[in-house]
Structure 1
Amino acid sequence: MKENKDPMIPDGEVNPIDTDYQVGQDNIVVNVGPFGLDIHNRVFAVSGLMVIAFVALTLMFQTEAEPFFGDIRNWLTGNLDGFFMTAANIFVILCLVLVISPLGRVRLGGTEAKPDYSYAGWFSMLFAAGMGIGLMYYGVSEPLGHFGTAFAGPVFENGVRIDYAPLGGALGDAAGAESLAMAASIYHWALHPWAIYAIMALGLALFSFNKGLPLTIRSVFYPILGERVWGWPGHIIDILAILATLFGLATSLGLGASQAAAGLNSVFGIPLGETTEILLVVGITSLALFSVVAGLDAGVKKLSQINMVLAVLLVFFVLVVGPTIAIFTGFFDNVVSYIRYLPELANPVGREDTGFATGWTAFYWAWWISWSPFVGMFIARVSRGRTVREFIISVLLIPSLACAFWMTVFGSTAIKQVVVDGYETAVNADLPLQLFAVLEGLPLANITSFIAIILVVVFFVTSSDSGSLVIDVISAGGKVESPTPQRVFWCAFEGLVAISLILGGGLIALQAMAVSTGFPFTIVLLIAAFSMVKGLMSEPR
């Protein structure tokens, strides 16, 4: 048995979650039960049955599901927007404190640990898994939508403000509206979401690589719960993590299916509708199954690198044939605008732009938090050997700048098409079609639209297979090498959940489940942040 020198874990202790699982990542024993599944773990059984029941009930009561999901989403975002915004602010502040504190010198994996991946491979994996589909879906539509509401100014009905304009809008000033729109868009894709991911990932990496605990969410709570972390308190934490991850992924998969369907309609004339979206989910989930079986290095890493190449090519093309000078100058202006408006955008108290705070920000923060077990564990697995300071700076700044640049390239191009060229096709298009409408206004539209479809599909596969691997690790009590049929089970049910939500209300249902699972996991993540700091304080620096 591996000797453990950390004061949090007594020497020679066996993990009570599974008597065949010894503490320490070098001594993992996998028990295979009926159907090739590691079903003796309570977390797998409970979470698996809950997901099966959800899919069955949603498919049985499709008519009743749509208004039900809509009511859930509206209530949660309308009443808990301040809670979500405050929690996200706490995560950002904590990351900044860790960077400048002596705790930043702690190395993940021990003082002699070396990084497993180069910076290029590391960045491509965390970026592709973290926000790929979302950036494709909202890269045009969010800046364009914010620009429209900011330019028009606030809308009132019976004295109640009902619009989604950020901070009240610019009231007819096109330059001011663009500045505010880009700042609001970057706000939702920069420091706050990546701070959420960083806190979860840092806690998982610390307790797995430095403390010798299983790579699962419950391990982060050892300083608080002690031995109870291996009992039902820990089971509940892991079950919540699985459900949050599954429904957060389902939201992204549903968005990806709708956008891929829109692209196929634009390029090849394939009919839009639920049938096309469902067939896409089935087909792409099947591709994800092959990648899941191949594993992290052979599957996810290679797909992430392919995606990065395609994404760079698409961005470079739009940069060259679009308003090149405006994009380059706009990038720096947009980052400055983001910093300028950040205190107002992040303020959870006394907001007049309640439509923006509830309709956009609260949903985004709940969505990112529901993704945090998935992205956090994925980042943790590829971050051994980094110092805490290096880890946080890299996870926060590099992806934030990349997201800001992506939003500038596509968002500024779309806005310039409207303001300068009078090209309003994208404005009048449905949300999933807006990216393809912008590409139609540029040369070689069919080629670039086809590349965009491939990007959406590969992002879809990357998210599905990496998410399945993460859920599988949690459901198996931290076993990194669990049975292949178990990984296949989770990948297949991700697709089934996405299909059931598409049939049960479309975008509203997808958003509702992301927010519903994001709320309880926000509480979990806040407690995990406190526990992680306690763990860091016991580490040699």
Structure 2
Amino acid sequence: MGDVVKDEYQTDYVAGQDNIRPFGLDLHAPVFPIAAILVIIFVVGTLMAPQAANELLVGTKDSFIENFDWFFLLSANLFVIVCIALIFMPVGKIRLGGMDAKPDFSTLSWFSMLFAAGMGIGLMFWAVAEPVGNYTGWGGTPLGVEANTPEARNLAMGSTMYHWGLHPWAVYSVVALSLAFFAYNKNMPLTMRSAFFPLLKDKVWGWPGHVIDTLAVVATFFGLATSLGYGAQQAASGLDFLFETGSGLNVQIAVITGVTAVALLSVLRGVDGGVKVLSNLNMGLAGLLLFFVIFAGPTLGILENLWVTASSYASNIGVLSNPFGREDADWMGGWTVPYWAWWISWSPFVGMFIARVSRGRTVREFVLAVLVIPTLVTVVWMSSFGGAALEQIDQGIGALAQDGITEVSLAMFQMFANLPLTAIISFVGIVLVLVFFITSSDSGSLVIDSITAGGKTDSPTAQRVFWVVMEGAIAAALIFGGGDDALSAIQASSVSSGLPFTLILLIMTWGLLKGLSRERKILIARGEMT
């Protein structure tokens, strides 16, 4: 019996024990300076030669996508299968933080935070553009169907959901659950390296772990900076659409400055007073906008589109998940594989933030909330926004019907132009875009700060302020100094990081399953679980 209850995942390592504390800060000695130096070198190099950097990094990204498309798709499929299995496995009864742990946040606030951090801004950016693009052939059509046909219309919604449904949330679930389990049930630091303890044991606190955490910081930082840059472009396009302010560099930099300032205030207020409040606000506004689009738009067509979206997604998920013998290899390489690489490269950021706010949830509750519920909500969201746009195209109404996708950042506002109260809902849409970016910047800063503080979640506020300001400053510098080439280069580097991170996630999945299985045996032996 003694051997059964022995916990092999025990360590004497304490979060922050290797930290240095200059000027009242609390920094992990190797990770913080190395990550900061890499960020500075990359940004300076990109600003000095944006076109050359863009060509090099985009070429690297395209090579990864072309040669490893099968690896991305098969790995993503595995993550979905594992997550669905966890819902039904006996280990689903294990509670994060111990069997007596209580949730830190209400279910509604918890869901709002994980959803806002996970992909809220993406749903604003692509909910109209992607279905319209798949329907009209902008960027190719899924499964090689003919554009602008009934088959293309149905598949446009199913393929859009494929990119925003179970697969991306399964990636987030694996990372978040791994981090939460080892942090809350094994008292390890809340950093990426902790999830590799089953493989590396105490070596994880040395240079192998330093490398893992440094890569996570760099990937997260560039992902956030890229999103701030492109988000500024979308917000600027919306402001120009509504107020004719122009959408040039001055407006974009002003948007970044405003987002950074509010994110800074949110960070100073902490998770309860900052991210949680903004996330709840965002979900409320998003709900109001969703209902308005449904009832002010082509209501019957949107409601019918709910069934079309869900059924097309369910019936085509298998063939869309198959990387071999595809007639639409160009579409898959241009849409699906970059999406998978992007979700995976973002998983350290989103996964760690979800882990941070998920103490007290059972494994089953966690996976259901992170995997299934967002997918169901996304079906409704995409069916409403994308469905309204497709109805307008079929009826020959508006700019999307006449010109198709001319500028991705304008697509949502072009759909709004054909609904009542255009100015009001466009303004709400701009606010949602901005607040989603603020929550991403805020939560991302908390994550980066936790990693660079050696897993501590109570580091000095000045460190979180530093990362918020750095994100905004670098995004503004990239737009001002390098324009689209600089942003494209950093986006390409973020997507390229998806390949090594896929290997990391596969190892994390193995460690998670091994850890949960061992934990269940321990709890049964202790009489805490049947």
TM range (shorter): over 0.9
Q: CA separation in 1, counterparts of 2:362 and 2:6?
A: 18
**Aligned residue among 468, 476, 497 for 1:491:** 468
More displaced 10-residue stretch of structure 1: 380-389 or 315-324: 380-389
Please say if residues 501 and 509 of structure 1, whose CA atoms lie closer than 8 Å, have aligned partners that are also in contact: no
| Aligned positions of 1:370-389 closer than 5 A | 370-389=345-364
**Cα deviation, residue 510, structure 1:** 4.5
Q: SS of the counterpart of 1:110? A: coil
Q: Distance in 1 between matches of 2:496 and 2:141?
A: 25
Asked if the contact 1:33–1:40 (Cα under 8 Å) also holds between the matched residues in 2, the reply is: no
Tell whether the 8 Å contact from 1:58 to 1:65 is kept in structure 2 after alignment.
Answer: yes
Counterpart secondary structure, 1:538: helix
- Cα distance change of structure 1 residues 336 and 10 upon mapping to structure 2, 3 Å threshold: closer
CA distance in 1, matches of 2:217, 2:371: 24
Mapping 1:445-456, distance limit 5 Å: 445-456=422-433
* Distance change (3 Å), C-alpha of 1:382 and 1:180: same
For residues 515 and 203 of structure 2, what CA distance do their matches in structure 1 show? 17
Percent same amino acid among aligned pairs?
50
Q: Which residue of 2 aligns with 1:26?
A: none
C-alpha change, 1:401 and 1:275, in structure 2 (3 Å) is same
Partner residue of 1:165 out of 137, 141, 148: 141
> Which letter maps to 2:90?
P
1:435 aligns with 412
| Cα distance between partner residues in 1 of 2:470 and 2:452 | 14
Cα distance, 1:32–1:148 mapped onto 2, change above 3 Å: same
Q: Distance in 2 between matches of 1:497 and 1:265?
A: 24
Residue 506 (structure 2) pairs with residue 526 (structure 1): yes
Per-residue CA shift, 1:75-124, capped at 9, x if unaligned?
22222222211111110011112122222121111111222222211111
**Cα distance in 2 between the residues matched to 1:6 and 1:451:** 55
- The gaps in structure 2 that reach 5 residues or longer are 524-528
- Which letter maps to 1:107? R
Q: Distance in 2 between matches of 1:379 and 1:428?
A: 34
Considering only aligned residues, what root-mean-square deviation do their CA atoms show, in Å?
A: 1.9
Which of 66, 70, 88 is matched with 1:100 structurally? 88
The answer for the alignment partner of 2:117 in structure 1 is: 129
Change (3 A) 1:214 1:421: same
Distance change in 2, residues 1:442/1:210 (3 Å): same
- Structure 2 residue corresponding to 1:474, chosen from 441, 446, 451: 451
Q: How does 1:329-368 map to 2 (within 5 A)?
A: 329-368=304-343
Q: State the AA in 2 paired with 1:164.
A: G
* 2:293 equivalent to 1:318: yes
How far apart, in 2, do the equivalents of 1:356 and 1:87 lie? 19
Q: Map 1:78-93 to 2 at 5 A.
A: 78-93=66-81
- The answer to whether the 8 Å contact 1:216/1:238 transfers is yes
Query: What are the residue-to-residue correspondences of 1:169-180 with 2, within 5 Å?
Result: 169-170=145-146, 173=149, 175-180=150-155
Out of 93, 103, 108, the position equivalent to 1:115 is: 103
- AA aligned to 2:449 is D
Cα deviation for residue 147 of structure 1 reads 0.6
Equivalence for 2:344: 369
Residue 366 of structure 2 aligns with which residue?
391
Q: How does 1:43-442 map to 2 (within 5 A)?
A: 43-149=31-137, 164-170=140-146, 173=149, 175-425=150-400, 427-442=404-419
Give the conservation status (yes or no) of the 8 Å contact 1:149–1:169.
Answer: no
- Report the Cα distance in structure 2 between the residues aligned to 1:536 and 1:280, rounded to whole angstroms: 44
How far apart, CA to CA, are the structure 1 residues paired with 2:391 and 2:16? 59
Measured in 2, the distance between the counterparts of 1:47 and 1:166 equals 39
Aligned length: 512
| Deviations 1:137-183 (CA, angstroms, capped at 9, x unpaired) | 11110000001129xxxxxxxxxxxx62110114552x221110000
d(CA) in 2 for partners of 1:273 and 1:8?
57
Deviation at 1:514, TM superposition (A): 2.0
- 1:455 offset after TM fit, Å? 0.6
* Alpha-carbon distance between aligned partners in 2 of 1:191 and 1:436, rounded to the nearest angstrom: 27
Distance 1:425 1:96, change over 3 A: closer
- 1:189-224: CA deviation from partner (whole Å, max 9, x where unpaired): 000000000000100110011111111111111111
Change (3 A) 1:75 1:276: farther
Cα distance in 1 for partners of 2:13, 2:448 equals 23
* 1:27 alignment partner in structure 2: none
* Higher mean C-alpha deviation, range 276-285 or range 363-372: 276-285
Q: What whole-Å deviation, never above 9, does each CA across 1:235-259 have from its counterpart, x for those lacking one?
A: 1111111112112222322221111
* Partner Cα separation in structure 2 for residue 538 and residue 355 of structure 1: 44
Counterpart position of 1:19? 17
Deviation for aligned residue 1:498: 2.8
Which range is displaced more, 512-521 or 216-225? 512-521
Q: Distance in 1 between matches of 2:65 and 2:293?
A: 35
The 1-side partners of 2:211 and 2:377 are apart by 36
Q: What's 2:22 paired with?
A: 33
Q: Residues 331-389 of structure 1, C-alpha deviation per residue, up to 9 Å, x if partnerless?
A: 12211110000001111122221121111111111111111111111111121122111
Q: Per-residue deviation at 1:18?
A: 4.4
Contact 2:157 2:308 in 1 (8 A): no
- Tell me the CA shift for residue 10 of structure 1: 4.4
Note closer, same or farther for the CA distance 1:279–1:171 as it changes in structure 2 (3 Å cut).
Answer: closer
1:267 CA displacement: 0.7
> Residues of 1 paired with 2:366 and 2:498: CA distance?
24
Conserved in 2, the CA contact under 8 Å of 1:253 and 1:281? Answer: yes
Report the AA paired with residue 239 of structure 2. Answer: L
5+ residue gaps, structure 1: 21-29, 151-162
**Structure 1 contact 55–496 (Cα < 8 Å) conserved:** no
Aligned AA for 1:511? Answer: Q
Contact 2:263 2:441 in 1 (8 A): yes
Worse-matched range after superposition: 468-477 or 55-64 = 55-64
Letter in 2 for 1:452: G
Specify the alignment match of 1:153 in structure 2: none
Alpha-carbon separation, structure 2, partners of 1:483 and 1:392: 32
Q: Could you tell me how far 1:277 is from its partner in structure 2? A: 1.9
**Counterparts of 1:459 and 1:475, CA distance in 2:** 24
Letter in 2 for 1:144: V
Alpha carbons 2:129, 2:412 under 8 Å: kept: yes
* Cα drift, residue 501 of structure 1: 4.5
Between the aligned partners of 2:358 and 2:16, the Cα distance in structure 1 is: 26
Per-residue CA deviation, residues 495-521 of structure 1 (Å, 9 max, x unaligned), is 234335542516633431221222221
**Is contact 1:244–1:521 with CA below 8 Å preserved after alignment?**
no
SS at match of 2:190: coil
Q: Which moved more, 1:503-512 or 1:100-109?
A: 503-512
